[in-house]
Structure 1
Amino acid sequence: MLLPNCRGVFGLLLSLLLASTPVLAIWPAPSSISTGESTLWIGSGLSVTYNGKILPWTFGYEPKGSKFSSSEIVKGGVARAMKSIVQTNFVPWMLYNRMELETTEPSLLKYKTYITHLDITQSGTDTSKTFKPLAGEVDESYTLNVDKSGKASIKAVSSTGVLRALESFSQLFFQHSKGPFFYTKSAPVSITDKPEYDHRGVLFDVSRSFFPVDSILRTIDAMAYNKMNRIHIHATDSQSWPLEIPALPELHQKGAYAQGKSYSPADLAKIQQYAINRGIQPIIEIDTPGHFGIAALSHPEIVAGWDSAPWSAYCAEPPCGQIRLNEPRVDPFLDKLMNDILPRVSPYSAYFHTGGDEVNFNMYNLDPTVGTNDSAVIVPLLQKFIDKHHARVRKAGLVPMVWEEIPADYNVTIGKDVVIQSWLGDEAIASLTAKGHKVISSNYNYWYLDCGRGQWLNFGQAEFDTFYPFPDWCSPYKNWRLIYSYNPRANLTAEQAKLVLGGELAAWSESIDDATIDDILWPRASAAGEVLWSSPEGRTQLEASTRLAEFRERLIARGIKSGTVHMPYCTQGSNSTACQYL
């Protein structure tokens, strides 16, 4: 009878001992990390060298312009990392046992060993592909070392790898409870790291709801904190056209939600440059031929079935409208559109997303140039449309991306270069990769972040009983544990797995806006960020939960209004078993 109690007491004592120092919780988890128990301090006077030369840096430094320089990108990365360390850090009270922070954090009265120098070495030479790579074209690996004497060094092949290292470096430190003093208790530190997947992204829908530019920039910052590297901007849809096209100004003038709710060419350039300077590639999507209804307000001659009713018979959500498939005025319109937007995208991206999802064949009964929903008629027209449209993208030096319905549901042939975004689940990914297609996963069962929050549609009394209690189509809510459990390459052969380039979390914005986007994305997207950076195989939710809770506090300190991981009781003492189900 005594043995279980003894084990329980021993377990409690061990838990308290381990809790006396917070676990060094780098997020996403590095490939390899070793730490010690020595304390080092750091201040704003850090001296930095880059390839043997002094790199002058100042807080708030932001590289400017469309010409990207490795040293400028690194300088901006150093400025942001040091801001995170000495200006937007946090006191880690929630990582210690109750009331123990002040008695266990390092003393301010004892001699302090400071990190005074950071030496950065980049062994490779950046090219234009470094800043807008295809999958596999940039090396993001790095090593980070901090010895007990305070000597810190970063080695990486590319400036992108340096940025990833600087993010890990920024997560080594905490703020002291008694003032602006910053320390780590885990020296020496040695990290060797590289990503598991090349494509680690977030889909940001600015068409269902309008988001200020600052909201997009803030999301890019949060993605960089998570070592994510693709922001997919779903720029237009049937509900609104916020993207300004100078060659076709009537599109946003009539299709935006209101005056000022649009993105100018300067806005788009700012967003793209901001992303590149953080090692994130922007991918713009103009969805075609479906999800195009709003263009009817300015160009009714190219749109079939605008705002047709009942909408549920003709489209996935109101208002309906698709590009006419046999209308001679469509090609000149698309030529003009793409000749405008693609040269403004190609300096910053290797890809352009052409959409292709949820084309409703019933709509072509309403298309005067087609007049039938017969797939035998429609599919050849879709094939012709896709061939021409992808030719426009390739002519601009970009690789087309499509949603999976184009090859999977409509049987349209696409080029081997095309990257397919799959959202319909593991079976769909298995089928696509078995046919040799390159895929990124946005499996709605795991990685659709708008799901499980209830319907955004309204229902009259006649439909009340049918739809009560009004769940959305993709319930349940995808909590971080579910998101963390997903393996995009599960049950695939080795050859198929190579074709899964990575994945994207989707934040469709029918019920999301600037006031809620941070809470919707974070820390749930962080969970996927770790899946894509360092596959969680061999790690458990128990191990991940304390690190994610700590990282969430870093997000809050840095101005990202992240949702919670769990209550402080589950975090204090870095004891993940406190809230384990038994």
Structure 2
Amino acid sequence: MKFYLLFPYLAYLALAIWPLPTTYEHGDTVLWLSEDTSFDWAGAGDVRSFTVQDFNDFNFRTKSNAHANKQESAQDGYRRRRKRDVEAPSGDEMIEYAIYSAKRTIFTKNFVPWKFHPRNWTESDPADGVYISSISIEMLEDDPEDIAKPLAGTVNESYKLELTEDGDVSITANSSVGILRGLTTFTQLFYQHSAGGAYTPLAPVTISDAPRFSHRGINLDVSRNYFSPKDLERTMDALAYNKMNRFHLHVTDGQSWPLEIPSLPSLSQKGAYRPDLVYTADNFADLQYYAALQGVELITEIDMPGHTSSIALSYPELIAAYNVQPDWDTYCAEPPCGTLKLNSTAVYDFLEALWDDLLPRVYPFSAYFHTGGDEVNKHAYEEDDTVESSDYAVLQPLMQKFIDRNHEQIRAAGLTPIVWEEMLLEWNLTLGEDVIVQSWRSDKAVAQIVGKGHKALAGNYQYWYLDCGKGQWLNFDPSVSGQYWPYQDYCAPFHNWRLAYSYDPLGSVPESAQHLVLGGEAHMWAEQTDPVNVDRMIWPRGSAVAEILWSGAKDDQGRNRSQIDAAPRLSEMRERLVARGVGAEPIQMPYCTMQGTVCQLGYHR
């Protein structure tokens, strides 16, 4: 990374832009941005200009009797415009929404940066302001056909941004998604003035940027606790603002089945915690579309054959070892136990019906489908009347058959399968060359996955499990309580942002195989997380993960990225998230961000 600091350090402590661009040069000239300034977009053979008023009027008003003359949200406006269930947004629509979102961020979801200046700081005087005169947005190439649902590495997300001292702005990219990333960076150059208005103190600016990894995501478990569509949209907003591009939805598990399957309605009717805690087919289509609109691919996971006991509430004949008590830990990782029977024609018929319903509704919005495969307990099959064995020699070929039939149907639907690492490394299955293997247990596992020639997703639980460190959610009988005191969870301690930031997804992988590591995900399992605390559980630790996945874990000199350099920028990113309605936790108190290096141990001038 190339970086030039052109003014005294204490004049401005944070240096904007998260995640860190590949090259970033800036000065110290203050420029202002007017709400009337148009965004001139050149692409697909035409030029269009957008102002705030355009977006107030532009196709976002409903004409229904129930809402006559009332303005709906831009998100709702875009939902109305799409062809439900069958069509992802076009690149044009993605850019239109990105321009709207950029203006909304700069003028209505911004913050006064007092926390990043010393106490005697004086704001620039708007009366003396020089205003940005033009914003030019240009796509240099036509989008690939599947711009909204790309396979990893098939879309160029790079961009260039220039802001001259005279107030001319240009954002260029080779794809619509690159334009989205450039507009996100553009918003991070600006701050709110306490008297109103938006300005940047950093002109001139030259940025050239591209991601290190093509898969950069958050995995959220919505089965152990339910999160409303609005919660998920807010998470997607934050994810996209951190330039992440994958939202992995762990949508079903043993505890609940909250996803409506219209052809199998009892799955959610009986499997959800409550009849209203369900993602309807319309909700699901909206969520996928809203993700794609922001250059984020929603990846759906239906975990199996383990973690499926919620199916027993509607189809008990399909599940073995259901809710075994009291010694449930013999049969599963957490209650309620239950696994799909492994040699059952009824299970296969069920899966065919499930995939026939769900996969066509995923296909317009994603290139992937996740079939799970983690933590399958062999002892559960002792209770499976189609197997009655926990012998690996008996189970392994049946598991191979089970995965093969699932993946065959997934491929036939035009999707690429993803599995958890156990299917490859524990069950020793032969997986198709296209199958992506998601690792969670160790760096050694990542090395083994790529060593077998598979593409891998990293996410070591000792660094990127965001649920760790909250203590046990289980209760303990007095007869065993003492041996578990002080009741730490298995992955304690709490993984703070510095630990997350220190993780290198390529740390165990030889250089010759690093191209097989597509990227990774931070994981938010929800045993102790619900809508009340989800924002602070993910953010800004998720932002630390985002920078590693966008910028890489090493700097240009091959050193681990500096937490000293990152801390003020991450504190600033936290303020930007809060301004956008995300309840992200603070990084440091204002005293530290205002004073530069004083909140450090071992610092030497």
TM-score normalised by structure 2 residue count: 0.91
Q: CA deviation at 1:70?
A: 2.0
Kept in 1: contact 2:91–2:148 (CA 8 A): no
Give CA deviations for 1:525-559 in whole Å, capped at 9, x if unaligned: 00000000001413310000010011111111111
* Inter-partner Cα distance in structure 2 for 1:67 and 1:349: 9
Between the aligned partners of 1:144 and 1:24, the Cα distance in structure 2 is 16
1:420 counterpart = 2:437: yes
Contact 1:49 1:55 in 2 (8 A): yes
Select 2:230's aligned residue among 179, 201, 214. 214
**Cα distance change of structure 1 residues 487 and 180 upon mapping to structure 2, 3 Å threshold:** same
Counterpart AA for 1:108 = P
Percent identity for Structure 1 against Structure 2: 46
Deviation at 1:578, TM superposition (A): 3.1
Pair 1:341–1:374, CA change in 2 (3 A):
same
Q: Deviations over 1:555-577 (max 9, x none)?
A: 1111110011111111014x145
- The residue number in structure 1 matching 2:416 is 399
Partners of 2:161 and 2:169 lie apart in 1 by 7
AA aligned opposite 2:174: V
Question: Equivalent residue for 1:268?
Answer: 284
Number of the residue aligned with 1:58? 55
Aligned pairs (5 A) from 1:95-494: 95-98=116-119, 100-101=120-121, 103=122, 105-110=123-128, 112-177=129-194, 179-309=195-325, 310-494=327-511
TM-fit CA distance, 1:61: 3.4
Partner residue, 2:11: 20
Partner of 1:89: 110
- State yes or no: 1:571 paired with 2:593: yes
* Corresponding residue for residue 6 of structure 1: none
Q: Equivalents in 2 of 1:385, 1:541: separation in Å?
A: 46
What is the CA deviation profile of residues 244-291 of structure 1, one whole-angstrom value per residue up to 9, with x for unaligned ones? 000000001110001200000000000000000000000000011000
Q: Is the 8 A contact 2:459 2:521 kept in 1?
A: yes
* Aligned partner letter, 2:581: G
Note if contact 2:503-2:553 (Cα within 8 Å) is conserved in structure 1.
no
Aligned 8 A contact 1:354 1:400 in 2: yes
Amino acid paired to 2:267: L
What is the rounded CA distance, in whole Å, between the counterparts of 1:423 and 1:109 in structure 2?
A: 55
Q: Who is 1:517 aligned against?
A: 534
Contact kept? 1:43, 1:86, Cα under 8 Å: no
Q: Helix, strand or coil: the match of 1:190?
A: strand
Secondary structure of 1:55 counterpart: strand
Q: Give deviations 1:47-104, integer Å, cap 9, x for gaps.
A: 1111151233415534331342222211110111111111111111110112x23x2x
Q: Determine the C-alpha separation between the residues in 2 that align with 1:226 and 1:359.
A: 34
The answer on 1:69 being equivalent to 2:90 is yes
Q: Which moved more, 1:457-466 or 1:244-253?
A: 457-466
* Alpha-carbon distance in structure 2 between the residues aligned to 1:200 and 1:67: 20
What residue in structure 2 maps to residue 5 of structure 1?
A: none
Unaligned runs of 5+ in 2: 57-72, 556-560
CA distance in 2, matches of 1:67, 1:341: 16
The CA distance in 2 between the partners of 1:577 and 1:537, in whole Å, is 25
Cα shift at 1:19: 1.1
Write the letter of the residue equivalent to 1:32. T
Q: Report how far residue 366 of structure 1 moved.
A: 0.3
Give yes or no for contact 1:404–1:421 (8 Å, CA) kept in 2: yes
| Counterpart contact for 2:306–2:339, Cα < 8 Å | yes
Q: CA deviation at 1:495?
A: 2.2
The one-letter code sitting in structure 1 at the alignment partner of 2:47 is: K
Contact 1:55/1:75 (<8 A) preserved = no
Cα displacement (A) at 1:140: 0.2
Q: Which amino acid aligns with 2:55?
A: T
Shift of 1:411: 1.0
Match of 1:561?
583
DSSP-derived class of the 1:45 partner: coil
* Whole-angstrom CA distance in 1 between matches of 2:586 and 2:479: 38
Shift in Å, 1:17: 4.2
Question: 2:571 — aligned with what?
Answer: 549
Tell me if the contact between 2:342 and 2:386 (Cα under 8 Å) persists in the aligned partners. yes
CA contact (8 A) 2:10 2:118 kept: yes
Write out per-residue CA displacement over residues 23-61 of structure 1, whole angstroms, 9 at most, x where no aligned residue: 432000000010011110012112111115123341553
Q: Quick check: 1:542–1:577 contact (8 Å CA) kept in 2?
A: no
- Aligned counterparts of 2:311 and 2:508: Cα–Cα separation in 1: 42
Q: Tell me the secondary structure at the aligned position of residue 169 of structure 2.
A: strand
Instruction: Kindly provide the amino acid, as one letter, of the partner of residue 401 in structure 2.
Output: K
The answer to which of 125-134 and 335-344 deviates more is 125-134
**Higher mean displacement: 303-312 or 337-346:** 303-312
Q: Which amino acid is the alignment partner of residue 74 of structure 2?
A: Y
Q: Distance in 2 between matches of 1:152 and 1:303?
A: 60
State the match for 1:497 in structure 2: 514
Give yes or no for contact 1:205–1:235 (8 Å, CA) kept in 2.
Answer: yes
More deviation, 342-351/46-55: 46-55
- 399-408 vs 460-469, which moves further: 460-469
- Any conservation in 1 of the 2:117–2:594 contact (CA below 8 Å)? yes
After TM superposition, the score normalised by the length of structure 1 is 0.95
Q: Show CA shifts across 1:338-383 (max 9, x none).
A: 0000000000000000000111000010001101110110001000
* 3-state SS, counterpart of residue 129 of structure 1: coil
Question: In structure 2, what is the Cα distance between the partners aligned to 1:135 and 1:532?
Answer: 13
Task: Mark the runs of 5 or more structure 1 residues left unpaired by the alignment.
Answer: 1-13
Would you say the 8 A contact 1:570–1:579 is kept in 2?
Answer: no
